[in-house]
């Protein structure tokens, strides 16, 4: 496609995790992109922060993982989550979270080359936007999206410079609406939204105070305060979240939305924080105090014509389970490579239909999971609850510490309630067991239905079935350094993986001459040596079989049996590429 009459190839509205990821990926792939935000800079509040392994894998593929680590709280300081009466008071229980526990850490290490990070949204957006601009993306802050009209060839957007008030238009081939939970783009194109908005409310007080003496020896990102004075609603507990250990914090507590707006005065917030910390003389420096409303809503479809939406525009939910920004980044990463291939005329425009088919089911799952995680606090809260109105904290402690038969029952229930919270805090499977079904995936006809050998929500199940993410396995590069299988795919290209005896596939790739396809022969390529002898078992194919991996690291097609004849390999590969809508 030529550049005639188009100001840019893709216009991205919004520079949150989804929009900024989309802009960075498109710029990295050499696509002209204009990304706008009506605000004058990146997020001004910490907002999302838990960054899971899949999101870090995206940063890794885009070449910004190490930069992100500079701004993050490292994995080993994230997970000793407390349920306590206050920072200074007696603890009720602890849970090792985000895969940091001894019994789960190995699962997470085997599943990915990347760690967890706690990376507050302002820093995440800073990394993404900075690198997008460096790679050629046009970034325009103080620019508001007003409306758009699309036709057969492109989209004409009407924008506003919020400083001067000037209204102007920009024409693009495609438009991406990443403009948040009140998305004007999603509303304008009539995306069907199912669910409920503002079903509950929370107050978040962002403040500074050095609380290291209470928590440095038991580091975590989240601390739950079991005290009715700071708890209300489904969760029924107060929250202290470490933004920058251990001097910048967010305190959170629920409020009754049926009674109108909450009390947002500093005096009330200070009282709540002092109760949560357990220090009646504590002084804090407030940064902000604001309400936040719990949503349970998702779009059943993500696009209309040449306009696509992602992130909070299409899945709106509480922060429970830490899925928000991670899912948003995955939306952007899924969409960007498809847009890039279509803009470059290396794929049919029908490829873009796979975006909604693949991501909408994930969005629904995330919304339901995040809301369920709030509900799942009820059994834990019940273990501590009493009818004592005078001193419910002391009464709750007596209840769980009673050296009686009744006390034993409560403690057993407490253990079960803590185990249930693993579905929020150690849900490796929810984060990583995504399976895509669309025209961008060619099913393996002989594979049958996938059998889950462990709890699908808790445990990652690596597989090379088409529609699943390529499993991580350590290889060795030409310099003797470890390199992941995820490092030899991606980068905006399809990759055909085979083994030393798969020489017929090399001939096939050379014959079809697809511009967005490369081949990596394990053990022949000097940067893909299977010296640990792990990949052969992990690949689930014969050495002369093949895996076709998409630019986002998901398996598009596989041939498990060996193929020795180059003509047969060429015919099979050519047919697969055509079915996927690639041009060559």
Distance (Å, whole) CA 39 – CA 23: 17
Asked if 22 and 151 sit in the same domain, the reply is yes
Burial of 513 (0-12, 13-18, 19+ CB in 10 A): exposed
Q: Is residue 341 a part of any domain in this protein? A: yes
At 142 the pLDDT is: 98
Asked if 496 and 409 sit in the same domain, the reply is no
Asked if 495 and 530 sit in the same domain, the reply is yes
* One-letter-per-residue 3-state SS of 203-270: EEEEEECCCHHHHCCCCECEEEECCHHHCCCCCCCEEEEEEECCCEEEEEEEECHHHCCCCCCHHHHH
Q: Is residue 246 a part of any domain in this protein? A: no
Asked if 132 and 33 sit in the same domain, the reply is yes
Asked if 168 and 312 sit in the same domain, the reply is yes
Asked if 338 and 383 sit in the same domain, the reply is no
Asked if 304 and 416 sit in the same domain, the reply is no
Q: Is residue 271 a part of any domain in this protein? A: no
Q: Is residue 15 a part of any domain in this protein? A: yes
Q: Is residue 275 a part of any domain in this protein? A: no
Per residue of the chain (584 residues), what is the pLDDT tens digit? 444 589 999 999 999 999 999 999 999 999 999 999 999 999 988 989 999 999 999 999 999 999 999 999 999 999 999 999 999 999 999 999 999 999 999 999 999 999 999 999 999 999 999 999 999 999 999 999 999 999 999 999 999 999 999 999 999 999 999 999 999 999 999 999 999 999 999 999 999 999 999 999 999 999 999 999 999 889 999 999 999 999 999 999 999 999 999 999 999 999 999 999 999 999 999 999 999 999 999 999 999 999 999 999 999 999 999 999 999 999 999 999 999 999 999 999 999 999 999 999 999 999 999 999 999 999 999 999 999 989 999 999 999 999 999 999 999 999 999 999 999 999 999 999 999 999 999 999 999 999 999 999 999 999 999 999 999 999 999 999 999 999 999 999 999 999 999 999 999 999 999 999 999 999 999 999 999 999 988 999 999 999 999 999 999 999 999 999 999 999 999 999 999 999 99
Q: Which of 344, 372, 400 is the last residue of a domain?
A: 372
At 568 the pLDDT is: 98
Cβ-Cβ contacts under 8 Å for 558 (sequence gap 6 or more) = 444, 464, 465, 466, 540, 541, 545, 546, 547, 548
Asked if 356 and 307 sit in the same domain, the reply is yes
Task: Give the count of domains, the chain.
Answer: 3
At 312 the pLDDT is: 97
Asked if 308 and 383 sit in the same domain, the reply is no
Q: Give the domain CATH number at 17.
A: 3.50.50.60
DSSP code for 537: H
Q: Is residue 63 a part of any domain in this protein? A: yes
Distance (Å, whole) CA 544 – CA 195: 49
Q: Is residue 346 a part of any domain in this protein? A: yes
At 537 the pLDDT is: 87
Q: Tell me the three state secondary structure of residue 449.
A: coil
Torsion of CA 456, 459, 465, 470, to 10 degrees: 140
Structure tokens at 4: 């005639």
Give the residue numbers spanning the domain of 490.
474-579
Asked if 343 and 397 sit in the same domain, the reply is no
At 389 the pLDDT is: 87
Q: How many C-beta atoms lie closer than 10 Å to residue 285's C-beta?
A: 10
At 4 the pLDDT is: 59
Distance (Å, whole) CA 160 – CA 147: 10
The model's pTM is 0.96
Asked if 45 and 141 sit in the same domain, the reply is yes
Q: Is residue 158 a part of any domain in this protein? A: yes
At 44 the pLDDT is: 87
Q: Which of 341, 372, 403 is the last residue of a domain?
A: 372
């Amino acid at each position: 496609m030529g550049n005639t009459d188009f100001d840019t190839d893709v216009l991205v509205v919004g520079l949150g995790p989804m929009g900024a990821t989309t802009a960075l990926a498109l710029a990295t792939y050499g696509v002209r992109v204009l990304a706008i935000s009506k605000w004058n800079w990146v997020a001004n509040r910490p907002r999302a922060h838990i960054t899971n392994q899949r999101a870090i894998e995206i940063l890794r593929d885009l070449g910004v993982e190490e930069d992100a680590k500079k701004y993050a709280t490292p994995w080993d300081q994230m997970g000793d989550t407390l349920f306590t009466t206050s920072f200074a008071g007696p603890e009720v229980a602890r849970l090792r979270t985000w895969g940091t526990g001894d019994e789960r850490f190995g699962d997470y290490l085997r599943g990915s080359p990347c760690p967890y990070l706690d990376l507050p949204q302002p820093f995440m957006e800073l990394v993404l936007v900075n690198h997008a601009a460096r790679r050629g993306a046009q970034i325009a802050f103080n620019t508001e999206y007003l409306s758009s009209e699309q036709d057969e060839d492109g989209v004409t957007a009407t924008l506003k410079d919020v400083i001067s008030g000037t209204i102007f238009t920009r024409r693009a081939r495609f438009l991406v609406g990443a403009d948040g939970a009140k998305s004007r783009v999603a509303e304008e194109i009539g995306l069907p939204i199912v669910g409920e908005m503002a079903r509950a409310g929370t107050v978040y007080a962002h403040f500074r105070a050095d609380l290291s003496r209470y928590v440095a020896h038991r580091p975590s990102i989240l601390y739950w305060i079991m005290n009715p004075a700071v708890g209300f609603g489904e969760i029924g507990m107060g929250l202290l979240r470490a933004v920058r250990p251990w001097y910048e914090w967010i305190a959170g507590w629920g409020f009754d939305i049926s009674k109108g707006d909450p009390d947002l005065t500093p005096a009330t917030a200070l009282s709540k924080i002092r109760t949560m910390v357990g220090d009646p003389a504590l002084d804090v420096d407030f940064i902000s105090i604001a309400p936040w409303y719990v949503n349970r809503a998702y779009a059943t479809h993500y696009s209309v014509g040449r306009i696509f939406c992602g992130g909070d525009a299409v899945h709106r939910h509480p922060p429970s389970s830490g899925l928000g920004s991670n899912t948003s980044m995955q939306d952007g990463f899924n969409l960007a490579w498809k847009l890039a291939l279509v803009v470059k005329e290396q794929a049919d425009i029908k490829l873009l239909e796979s975006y909604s088919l693949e991501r909408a089911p994930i969005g629904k799952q995330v919304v339901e999971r995040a809301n369920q995680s709030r509900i799942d606090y009820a059994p834990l809260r019940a273990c501590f609850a009493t009818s004592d109105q005078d001193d419910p904290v002391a009464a709750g402690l007596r209840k769980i510490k009673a050296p009686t038969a009744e006390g034993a029952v409560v403690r057993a229930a407490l253990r079960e309630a803590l185990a249930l919270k693993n579905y929020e805090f150690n849900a490796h499977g929810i984060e990583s067991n995504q399976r895509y079904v669309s025209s961008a995936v060619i099913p393996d006809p002989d594979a049958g239905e996938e059998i889950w050998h462990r709890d699908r929500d808790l445990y990652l199940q690596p597989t090379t079935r088409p529609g699943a993410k390529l499993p991580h396995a350590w290889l060795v590069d030409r310099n003797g350094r470890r390199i992941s299988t995820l490092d030899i795919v991606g980068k905006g290209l399809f990759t055909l993986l085979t083994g030393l005896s798969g020489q017929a596939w090399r001939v096939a790739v050379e014959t079809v001459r697809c511009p967005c396809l490369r081949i990596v022969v394990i053990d022949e390529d000097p940067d893909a040596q299977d010296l640990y002898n792990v990949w052969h078992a992990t690949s689930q194919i014969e050495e002369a079989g093949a895996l076709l991996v998409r630019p986002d690291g998901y398996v598009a097609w596989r041939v498990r049996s060996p193929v020795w004849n180059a003509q047969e390999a060429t015919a099979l590969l050519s047919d697969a590429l055509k079915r996927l809508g690639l041009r060559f």
